[in-house]
Amino acid sequence: MKYLSSAGVRAEQPGKLLRRAAGMSRHLLWPAVGAFGVTALATVARLLGPLVVGGGIDAGIDAGDKAAITRAAVAYLGLLAVQYVAARWSQLAVATVGERFLKMLRSRLFGHLTRLDMGFYDEAKTGVLVSRMTSDIESMTEFVNEGAVLTLTNLLTAVGVAMAMVIVDPPLALGVFVVIAALIAVSVLFSRQVAEAYEQVRERIGRVLAGLQEGITGVRVVQAFTQESAQASDFARTNERYVEASMAAAWAISWYFPVVAFLRIVGIGLVLLLGGRRVVDGGLSFGDLVALLLYVNWFFEPIINLANVYNLLQAALAALGKVFSLLDRQPAVSERPAASDLSGPVVGELVLDGVTFGYGDQPVLEEVSLRVPPGQRLAVVGETGAGKSTIAKLLMRFYDPDRGRVTIDGNDLRDLTFAARAGAITLIPQDGFLFNGTLRENLRYGKPDATDREVWDVFRAMGIADWVESLPDGLDTDVQERGSRFSAGERQLVALGRALLADPGVVVLDEATSNLDPETEVRMEGALRVLLAGRSAVVIAHKLRSAERADRVVMIDRGRVVADGTHDELVATHPAYRYLVEVWERGKA
C-alpha cells in the first residue's frame, strides 16, 4: 500500500520509507546496533524462562529433587534480573536513537522549508506546513517513546517463541502455527483497513489545524462581518470529516482484537488437548507441556502488543511519508552549480530584458524590458493585478522569468550565488517583519558581524537614535513575536535600518510607506532618503506620493509597459497615467 501526501503526491511504501530513513541515519548505525543488542539480550533472557520452569518441573518436582527445584528457581530469578536490567537499557537506547533521528529530521525539514521557492508558499497552506513540523513529528516522537521498543521486543519475542516451540516439540508447534497463520491473515486484512483510515486521519487533522489557524488569525475580519456562525460551521464540517476518519479506524480495531482473543484461546486449547494426551501417553513430559503452554501464551502476546502499537506505527509511517514528500519538493529557484559572485562592487544597473512570466497558466508579465541606471529611483505604478509586485519578486529572484532575463550590472541573476544576490539587492516589504528577539538581533539579521557602533551609526544617519535611546533596554529591547511591541511605523523604521546596515547596492521597496499614517510617513521618508542616497531603487508604488518623489515612473497595464517618463511628463502626455493620478487625487479627497 502507498500513502498520499497532503499535496496529493504518492509517497513510498512502508519498506521504502524505512530503508530511506535508515539511509539518512547512517551516523546512528552503532548506537542502533547497541540498542538492538540489549533488546535481544532482554528477549533471550525472557524466552529462557519457560525452559528453566519446565526443567525444574521435570528434574525437581517429578523426580523429588529439592536441590534441582532450588537451582531452577535461582536460575529463573537470575534471568528475571538480566531481563529487567537489559529492558531498561533497551528502552533508553532505542529512545536515544529515535530522538537523535527526529532531531536530525526536524533540522533538515526546517532547513529545506527555508530554501523552498515563493511559488511553493503561494500554494501551500501554513497550517498544513505547521502540521508537518508539529503533529507529524509528534506522531513519530510518540512511536519512538512508546512503540519502538515494543515493536522491536515483540518481533524478537515472536521469532524466539517460534524457535523455542519447535525445539521443545515440533508436532505441537506445527499445530500452533496453523492458528498463527490464521492470525497473520486476519492481521493483514486489518492492516489494509486501518492504514487507509489512519492516512485519512493524518490528512484531515492537517486541515483541522489549517482551519483553526485561519480562523484565529482572521478573527478580526470574522467579527467585523459577524461571520462567527459561518466560520464555526465551516470548521465543524472539517472537524466532522476528521471524526469520520477516526471512526473508520476505530471500527477496524473493534473487530480485530476480539478475533485475536478468540484465536488465542483456540491455540491454548489445542496445546492442552494434544499435549495433555501426549503427556498421558508418555510422549511428552509435564514440564515440556507447561513450557509449551507458556510459549503459546507468549506467542499471542507479542502479536497483540504489535496490534496495540500498530496505530502508532501507521501514524508514524504516514507522517514520515508526508515529511519525505515535503523533502522531495525541489525549489523552482535554485543556485546553479557554476554560480559566481559579483566580480566587483555593486554599481546598481538593473535590466529586465524581454521578461515574460506567469503563475502557472496565468500570464502576468509579457515581454517587459526595463533599464534602471545606477542611482536612479524608479517607481512602478499600475492598477491592482497589473504585475507591479511581480517585478519586485523577479528582481529579488523569488521567481525566475519564463522567458528573458533579469540582470544586475550585466550579470544574469540566475548566474549569481544567492549570497551575491542578497548582498546586492535588498527588499523592504509593506510590513516590516521582525523576528522574536532583541532589537540588536533584528538589525544585524542582514549583517551578523556588525558591531554596536555600526548599528548606532545607522540609527543616527536615519535620525532615529533618540527613539532607540528612549526604549527601556535600548538595543536589548525585546521586540516580541512579529515585532508586536512596536507600531507599524516603528517596525518599518527597523526594517529600513536593517537594510541600511546590510549596505546593498539596490533597494526594492514594495510600497514600504503605504500602511502608515501621514506623520510616520514623513519620518519614514526622511529615513528613506538616507537609505536610497547613491543607490538604485525600484519602488512598487501604490500611492501617488511615491511616484511624485521618484526620478522616473513606469506604468504597467496587463503585464506590459505602457508609459515611461517622469511624473510630470506622464501627467502631461499620457492619458492613462493622468487618469490614474486623478483617481489617486479623488481618493485623497
Q: What is the pTM for the complete model shown?
A: 0.67
Q: What is d(CA 388, CA 71) in angstroms, rounded to the nearest whole number? A: 88
Give the domains, in start order, of the chain with CATH numbers.
18-327 (1.20.1560.10), 350-588 (3.40.50.300)
Cα dihedral: 338, 339, 343, 345 (round 10) = -170
pLDDT tens-digit readout, 248-262: 878 877 888 888 888
The pLDDT score that the predictor gives to residue 517 is 61
Average pLDDT over residues 338-350: 89
Joined grid coordinates for residue 251:
471500527
| Residue 514 banded pLDDT, cuts 50, 70, 90 | low
Q: Is the pLDDT of residue 390 over 80?
A: yes
- Residue 63's pLDDT band, with cuts at 50, 70 and 90, is confident
Q: pLDDT digits over 167-184, tens only?
A: 888 888 888 888 888 887
Is residue 369's pLDDT more than 90?
yes
Instruction: Tell me the mean pLDDT in the region 332-344.
Output: 87
Q: What is the DSSP string of 479-506?
A: --GGGTTS-HHHHHHHHHHHHHHH--SE
Least confident range from 65-79, 287-301, 308-322: namely 308-322
With 60 as the cut, is the pLDDT of residue 5 above it? Answer: no
The answer to whether residue 547 scores a pLDDT higher than 60 is yes
Q: Could you report the per-residue pLDDT of 73-85, keeping only the tens digit for each?
A: 899 899 899 989 9
Distances, alpha carbon 453 to alpha carbons 104, 434, 474, 526, in Å? 38, 21, 13, 21
> What pLDDT score was predicted for residue 227?
79
pLDDT reported for residue 6 = 38
Residue 589 has pLDDT above 60, yes or no: no
Annotate 379-415 with b (16+ C-beta within 10 A) or e (fewer).
bbbbeeebbbbbbbbbbbbbbbbeebbbbbbebebbe
The whole-chain average pLDDT of the chain stands at 83
